[in-house]
Amino acid sequence: MRNRKRTEAGAASAAATALSLDGVGRVHDGGTVALDEVSLALPRGRFLAVMGGSGSGKSTLLRCAAGLERPTSGTVRLGDTDLGRLKPAALTRLRRDRVGFVFQSLNLVSALTVRENVALPLLLAGTPDDGGRALAGLAAVGLADRAGDPPGTLSGGQQQRVAIARALVTEPEVVFADEPTAALDPVTAAEVLALLRRTVDEYGRTVVLVTHDPAAAAWADEAVFLDRGRLVERLQHPDADRARAVLGAHARVATDRATAGAAAAVAR
């Protein structure tokens, strides 16, 4: 009976967890350590910001968590699915069916209309958009009136909203966003971040946002900070000032470390 209860508790825990990383490491060709034993668990319906300086491992973490890159060590699970156990074809299906992506480079197809761009993941999955899901997605981001237009006629912020609608059209379990506001002005960036926040609060999605911007991190429920591939700090309900302070503290440590290394090299 105890074993059964333990099993049921474990199943409930897995169901409540959208994404988990356990001891994840990634070593690039040449021996560069991009991730070093990173462990974290993200509950469903949460907004996580991943922060750190240049080369800290932010984008590598996203790529490993999203199944775009295989970790060298450790385990990544989407829900209760161990990504490391999936063959390439199954991993491709998982990314198509259960994951949404929003990147700084929008990757909208210029030859398609806005609506066709949003519907593209459904087409690739073999699911015709008979129910108007693409149009509903555009309505949710305030662009239903631009459905028939080519994406090139939209502003940068509008194109990013189309990318968000496309990421959500398959109703994914987790949405990964890599610096989606980096090329936008502050007002437009806030509009895009508000949309991501809405996907969590109103639709129960889970969002992982990689960003260098403390103001963007302030939209998240939690911020985690990487330094040299290690998870070094976490903030619950971050605000811009606290996120900026953590980034600044670790930037100073990195500068001191580099200065000490240079001095030691000269001494030798």
Residue 3 CA to residue 159 CA, distance in Å, equals 51
Q: What is the pLDDT of residue 87?
A: 95
> Taking all residues of the chain, what is their mean pLDDT, rounded to a whole number?
88
Residue whose structure tokens are 């199954």: 90
User: 268: how many CB neighbours lie within 10 A of its CB?
Assistant: 5
Low-confidence winner among 32-41, 112-121, 130-139, 251-260 (lowest mean pLDDT) = 251-260
β-bridge partners, 85: none
Q: What is the pLDDT of residue 226?
A: 96
Residue 219 CA to residue 223 CA, distance in Å, equals 10
Q: What is the pLDDT of residue 257?
A: 57
User: Rounded mean pLDDT of 105-121?
Assistant: 90
Q: Quick one: fold of 16-78+176-184+210-268?
A: Rossmann fold (3.40.50)
**179-233 pLDDT, tens per residue?**
998 888 999 999 999 999 999 999 899 999 999 999 999 999 999 999 999 999 9
Token code pair at residue 57:
């491992």
**146, 161 Cβ separation under 8 angstroms:** no
**91, 83 Cβ separation under 8 angstroms:** yes
Token code pair at residue 173:
């379990």
Handedness of CA 115, 116, 121, 125 (dihedral sign): positive
User: Rounded mean pLDDT of 163-182?
Assistant: 92
Q: What is the DSSP string of 154-211?
A: S-HHHHHHHHHHHHHTT--SEEEEESTTTTS-HHHHHHHHHHHHHHHHTT--EEEEE-
Instruction: Output the CA torsion 108→111→116→117 (10° steps).
Output: -10
Which stretch of DSSP H or E encloses residue 57? none
**9-35 pLDDT, tens per residue?**
444 445 589 999 999 999 988 888 999
User: 185: how many CB neighbours lie within 10 A of its CB?
Assistant: 11
% residues pLDDT > 90 (the chain): 71
Q: Which of the two residues, 129 and 77, has the higher pLDDT score?
A: 77
User: Rounded mean pLDDT of 97-112?
Assistant: 88
Instruction: Output the CA torsion 78→193→119→97 (10° steps).
Output: 0
Residue 194 CA to residue 236 CA, distance in Å, equals 18
Side-chain half-sphere of 225: how many Cα atoms within 13 Å? 22
Q: Which of the two residues, 83 and 7, has the higher pLDDT score?
A: 83
User: Rounded mean pLDDT of 132-160?
Assistant: 93
Distances (CA, A) of 118 to 5, 147, 173, 198, 206: 43, 9, 17, 18, 19
**35-79 pLDDT, tens per residue?**
999 999 999 999 999 999 888 999 999 999 999 999 999 999 999
Please tell me the chain's helix, strand, coil percentages from 3-state DSSP, rounded to the nearest 5.
45, 25, 30
Which stretch of DSSP H or E encloses residue 99? strand 99-103
